[in-house]
Amino acid sequence: MRKLPIVIAVVGGEGTRLYPLTLQHPKPLVSMCGVAILSRTFETIANQGFREFILAGKGVRNTLFIEEFFKDGEGFSRRVGITPRAKFKYQPKYDDRGNADAVRFCMEFYDIKRDVLVVGGDHILDITLKDLIRFHRSKNALVTAGLQELDKTRDISQFGVVELAPDGRIQRFVEKPEEEEAPTRLINTGIYVFSPKIREVLEDMTDKPMDTGGDVLPYLCANNYPVYGHVCEGYWADVGNPEALLKTTQDVLHGKLSRIKFLGKQTTLKEAARGIIQKDTRRWIHRSTLRNIERLERPPEIGNYVHIGEHCIIEEDVKIESSSIGDYCKIGKGTRITGSVVMGFTNVGKDVRLNNCIVGRYSSIKDKSIIDRDLDVEVHEGSHDLTPVIGEGVTIEKGSVIGPKKRVAPIYESHRILSTGRFLELGYDTNNVYFVEK
């Protein structure tokens, strides 16, 4: 029986679409229900038997932060509960010219002579990868791209689009076409199986740009290499912007990704004293937080599809529904949290309303503030992403109102944010810069 491919995760990029959440650490390490995005991706892959991972990082932040987080894979394996454990390796520093070149370099550096499974660092997936590999091998393909059919309500111009022959061979690849120019609704997920023979082809391209979707696949198709596409059933999402991060978090909470679990000290609660937890609902509350809740005379109302981390203090008359709360958070009396993400070490004051928003780590939301995507206020033109985002280390003053599209970061990050050209400044206060995506 042939071995499973080695997994190469391409984790370059600055993550500017997720600003201000990625100002302090790389995009793959942003929290997804208390665990880094990339760790969630590896969780679904490792649970299908894959054990060899190479992380192809670009830039000092991505490489050093991610290596420090995952190390050799022992801690990851313990959290996920897999044996034998996964083994992690890393790409040495070199001047790459695109994600395909990073894969080429890793294959050469580690002298890989078998198939490689390539995934992105900001994707969440729950698909049966062995079906993709089986298809790839049955066609004796050089490259097989994992595809999905894009819903007609979504903007296809954000994706690479593929046209297939009846046998699955890719006839045409169009990168980020306008709606009227898209040949199909089949999009490239950025999941690939590369044959070891790809090394020779990529070596011949080393004087050209080597982005997989924008350069390599069109080149291979134009030169009649055996490049195939396989439509993958299951869940896949690019979580590179706030709206997608929030939606995917909701999908995890609602159980749409069967291979993602709340493990370790997290406990699925079916019932508890005084009716705090009702039967047959999806709630996960760390035992240390539950002990704090049970001491209260009038416990909070914890609704369906809620995940709360460890050592949180949640006061009386709080209502939480369909939300993820990180570790070491404090939620003040009378606060309402719905459809939101509150990351670790955050203090939320009294009578606060959080609705369909994201609050970064180590932030403070003072009493009577409102952060609400659905506020009926004038919305700035530009980006369609309505999700309000509070960055890490931000303090929102008492009685503040933050509506759709608005993002907040510490004032010392303003130059870095605005220098990207992606954002428009709305104004400042003593501590913060307020901005929107153009």
Same domain, 210 and 279: no
* Closest CA relative to residue 55, chosen from 24, 34, 76: 76
Q: Are residues 45 and 121 in the same domain?
A: yes
The rounded mean pLDDT for the chain is 90
Decide if 287 is inside a domain: yes
In this structure, is residue 71 part of a structural domain?
yes
**Confidence at residue 281, expressed as pLDDT on a 0 to 100 scale:** 60
pLDDT digits (tens, 9 = 90+) for 37-52: 999 999 999 999 999 9
pLDDT at 380: 80
Task: Give the model confidence (pLDDT) of 251-299 as tens digits.
Answer: 999 989 888 877 544 444 444 444 444 444 678 888 889 888 888 888 8
Residue 405 within any structural domain of the chain: yes
Distance set, CA 146 to CA 86, 101, 190, 406 (Å) = 23, 19, 7, 34
Whether residue 316 sits in one domain with residue 195: no
Residues 225 and 345 reside in one and the same domain: no
Specify if 197 maps to a domain: yes
Whether residues 235 and 298 fall in one domain: no
What pLDDT shows up at residue 278?
44
pLDDT at 1: 64
Same domain, 28 and 139: yes
CA-closest candidate to residue 10, choices 56, 63, 78: 56
pLDDT < 70 positions in the chain: 1, 263-281
* Structure-token match 């009577």, residue found: 368
Residue 61 lies in a domain: yes
- CATH code of the domain in which 92 resides: 3.90.550.10
Let me know: does 115 contact 199? Beta carbons within 8 Å: no
Q: Do 210 and 331 fall into the same domain?
A: no
**432 membership: H or E segment, kind and range:** strand 432-437
Verify that 68 and 190 share a domain, yes or no: yes
Q: Is 262 inside any structural domain? A: no
Task: Tell me what pLDDT residue 377 has.
Answer: 84
Contacts of 68 (CB under 8 A, 6+ apart): none
Whether residue 198 is found in the same domain as residue 331? no
Shared domain check, 231 and 332: no
Query: What is the pLDDT at residue 279?
Result: 42
| Domain C-terminal end among 240, 264, 281 | 240
- Percent of the chain having pLDDT more than 70? 95
Whether residues 153 and 10 fall in one domain? yes
Domain count, the chain: 2
Q: What is the DSSP letter of 29?
A: G
How far is residue 359's CA from residue 357's CA, in Å, rounded to a whole number? 7
- The answer on 170 and 302 residing in a single domain is no
Name the amino acid, one letter, at 121: G
Of 240, 259, 281, the residue that ends a domain is 240
Q: Which domain holds residue 323?
A: 273-437
CA 438 – CA 428 distance, rounded (Å)? 18
Is 423 within the bounds of a domain?
Answer: yes
Is residue 302 one of the residues assigned to a domain? yes
Which pLDDT value is given to residue 389? Answer: 98
Cα–Cα distances in Å, from 101 out to 97, 216, 221, 324? 6, 10, 18, 37
Which DSSP string corresponds to 270-287?
Answer: S--GGGSS-SS--EEE-H
CATH of the domain at 369: 2.160.10.10
